[in-house]
Amino acid sequence: MLRIGLTGGIAAGKSVVARRFAELGAVVVDADLLARAAVEPGSEGLAEIVAAFGTGLLTPDGALDRPALGRLVFADDGARERLNAIVHPRVRAGAARLIDGAPAGAVVVEDIPLLVETGQASRFHLVVVVDAPDELRLQRMVDQRGMRREDAEQRMAAQVSRADRLREADAVLANDRGLADLLAASDTLWHQRLLPFRNTLDAGGHEPGANVQPAEAGLPGTSGLSRRIAAKLRAALPASSAASIVESRRGAARHPPDDVSAAAVSVLSGAGEEFDSLSGAIAAAGFPRVGAAAPPGAGGPFATHRWADPATDVTVVVTAPPAPA
Ligand SMILES: CC(C)(COP(=O)(O)OP(=O)(O)OC[C@H]1O[C@@H](n2cnc3c(N)ncnc32)[C@H](O)[C@@H]1O)[C@@H](O)C(=O)NCCC(=O)NCCS
Ligand SMILES: Nc1ncnc2c1ncn2[C@@H]1O[C@H](COP(=O)(O)OP(=O)(O)OP(=O)(O)O)[C@@H](O)[C@H]1O
C-alpha cells in the first residue's frame, strides 16, 4: 500500500486533485468529510461540542450550525483548539478504519487540510502539496464560495503559511493556472511517480529504468530532501529506538543550492538494537534493501537501502556497531 498525504491551504485545490486521483483508482480518505460525520446529529462528537460551546450553536432541528461555529472558532484561537481537540481524534479514528479496509496494493490518498499543522508529514510515503498564491485563494473563496474577504483572511490565518507547508512537500502541484493544467499535472504525477512507487513497494525491490523528469514529478518547489527523509526514517522506527540518523550532504553537493532530487542518509543502530528488525522497519517504510545485508564483519553488519520513489535518488545506509569481542 502506498500512503499519500494530500494537503494545501484553504481553496488551494485539494478537492479537485483528490477527485482526480479517485478517478485514477486511488482510495481517497477525506478528512473534511470525516470531520462532518463526527458531528452529525446524535453523535458523541456533537454532544461534546454542545458541552463545550453551549446549545446556541445548534440549528432549530438540532444539527450543528456550521457557519455560527465557524464565526466563533476562526476568531478565537482557544475556541478553535477546543474544537480541534474534539474533532481531530475522531477524524483519525475514522481514517484508520477506512485505511484498514483498503486492499493491500492500494494507493491511499488522505486529503488532510491540516496535515502540516498537526505534524503528520513524516508518516506518509509522499506528501503532495497543492499550492496557490494567497491572493488567488482569497479570490476563490470570495468569488466561488461567496465568503466575505475578512472571513476568508481569518481562515487563512488559522493555517500555516504557504512557505511552512511547502517545507514538508515531497511533490508540489502548482495550481495558479486553469483547472485543465491542474488535472494534467495530477495525471502525470499519478502515472510517472505514484504508480511506479507503489509497484516498487509491492515488488519489494527496485524497478530498473525509472527516469522521471523533475517537473513531471512535482519536484520544483520542494526543498530539504535529506531532512524530510530523516524525518520519515525517524517516524518509521519504534519510539524506543536509540538509532541515530545522520543526513549526508551528498545530495546538496550534487544539486546546489539545496538537496531536491538526491540525498544520502545514514542510520546507526543503538547499542544492543537488533540489526535485522531495524533494517526491516526501514524497508517497510518505503526503503527496500538493495542486495543482501553484509554479514557482521570487523565493522559490524551494514545494509544499503534505496527509497522506492522513482523521482529521486535516495540511499540509506544502515549500520550497527561491531559486536563486543
Ligand atoms: C468550523 C467548522 C464547523 C466550519 O465549517 P464549514 O462548513 O464552514 O467549513 P468546512 O468544514 O467545509 O472547512 C472548510 C475548510 O476550512 C479550513 N478549516 C476547517 N477547520 C479548520 C481548523 N480547525 N483550522 C484551520 N482551518 C480549518 C480547511 O481548509 C477546510 O478545508 C468546521 O470547519 C470544523 O468543524 N472544523 C474543525 C475540524 C477541522 O479541523 N476540520 C478540518 C480538517 S480535519
Ligand atoms: N485552477 C483553478 N481555476 C479555477 N478554479 C479553481 C482552480 N482550482 C480550484 N478551483 C476552484 O476553487 C475552489 C477551491 O478548490 P477546492 O475545493 O479543490 O479547494 P480545497 O483545497 O479542497 O479547499 P478546502 O481547504 O476548503 O477544502 C473550488 O470551487 C474549485 O472548483
Q: How far is the CA of 30 from the centre of ligand 2 (A)?
A: 15
Q: How far is the CA of 39 from the centre of ligand 1 (A)?
A: 12
C-alpha cell belonging to residue 97 = 478504519
The CA-CA-CA angle for residues 170, 275, 314, to 5°, reads 25
pLDDT tens-digit map of 191-234: 999 999 999 999 887 766 567 999 999 999 999 999 999 999 99
Residue among 6, 7, 10 whose CB has most ligand 1 atoms within 8 A, to mutate: 10
> Domains, the chain, ranges and CATH?
2-203 (3.40.50.300), 225-319 (3.30.460)
pLDDT tens-digit map of 261-292: 989 999 999 888 888 899 999 999 999 999 77
Feature table: binding site: 11-16
267's torsion region: left (phi>0), alpha (psi -120 to 50) or beta?
A: beta
| Pocket lining for ligand 2, CB < 6 angstroms | 8, 10-16, 32, 113, 140, 144, 175, 178-179, 182
Dist. CA 173–CA 219, nearest whole Å: 9
C-alpha cell belonging to residue 91 = 477524524
C-alpha cell belonging to residue 190 = 499519478
C-alpha cell belonging to residue 259 = 538537496
ipTM of the complex: 0.97
The mean pLDDT value for 26-40 works out to 98
The yes-or-no verdict on residue 174 having pLDDT over 80 is yes
Q: Which residues pair with 313 in a beta bridge?
A: 262
What is the chain's mean pLDDT, rounded?
92
Residue ranges of alpha helices (H) inside the chain are 14-24, 31-37, 44-53, 66-73, 77-100, 134-145, 149-157, 162-166, 179-189, 195-203, 225-236, 250-254, 275-284
Q: What 8-state DSSP symbol labels residue 159?
A: S
The closest of 172, 108, 126 to 309, measured between CA atoms, is 126
Residue among 6, 7, 10, 15 whose CB has most ligand 2 atoms within 8 A, to mutate: 15
